[in-house]
């Protein structure tokens, strides 16, 4: 059995998280160490390790996650000014939690390409 990830433990309520969205397929929480005034993590309930492990079976889920990102940007009031969406993938991508997640950042002008 694979170890449960930090994000699975947040989803299951074992570790606190500031939830801004929950549905059947995913949750969204505020990042504990925000890189921008708005910094959310959109996380599928399914513990896919990273974008590299996404399969054709996950196609609908992947689309759903992007729609949730777009709706949350509106909800957070950053859709008009613009925002950044990042998926760190694997070691060189700077991924630290091995459970697929999408960073949504905004609320200030972002420069460069990272989080
Ligand atoms: P990664 O580097 O894997 O793309 O992103 C992991 C993100 O999770 C980081 O931005 C980090 O600040 C955030 N993070 C790590 N631990 C926690 C936690 O316990 N709660 C929340 N809300 N975010 C966390």
Model confidence over 43-101: pLDDT tens digits?
Answer: 999 999 999 999 999 999 999 999 999 999 999 999 999 999 999 999 999 999 999 99
Q: Tell me, what's the pLDDT at 2?
A: 61
Q: Does 85 fall in a domain?
A: yes
Strand partners, 43: 27
Is the CB of residue 2 below 6 angstroms from any atom belonging to ligand 1?
no
More confident residue, 113 or 77: 77
Position 33 pLDDT exceeds 60 = yes
Q: Does 21 fall in a domain?
A: yes
pTM: 0.97
Q: What is the dihedral of CA 23, 26, 29, 32, to 10 degrees?
A: 160
Which atom of ligand 1 is found nearest the CA of 97?
Answer: 3
Q: How far apart are the first and last CA of the chain?
A: 32
Q: How many domains does the chain have?
A: 1
Q: Does 113 fall in a domain?
A: no
Q: Are 68 and 28 in contact (CB under 8 A)?
A: yes
Q: Which of 64, 101, 103, 113 is catalytic?
A: 101
What percent of the chain has a predicted confidence (pLDDT) above 90?
A: 93
Task: Give the pair of three-digit tokens for residue 89.
Answer: 């993938």
């Amino acid at each position: 059995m694979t170890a449960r990830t930090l994000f699975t433990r947040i989803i299951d309520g074992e570790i606190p998280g500031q939830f801004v969205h929950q549905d059947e397929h995913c949750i969204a929480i505020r990042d504990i160490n925000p890189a921008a005034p708005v910094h959310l993590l959109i996380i599928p309930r399914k513990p896919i390790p990273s974008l590299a492990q996404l399969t054709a079976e996950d196609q609908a889920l992947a689309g759903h996650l992007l729609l949730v990102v777009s709706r949350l940007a509106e909800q957070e009031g950053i859709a008009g000014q613009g925002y950044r969406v990042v998926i760190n993938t694997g070691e060189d991508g700077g991924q630290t939690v091995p459970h697929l997640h999408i960073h949504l950042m905004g609320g200030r002008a972002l420069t460069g390409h990272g989080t």
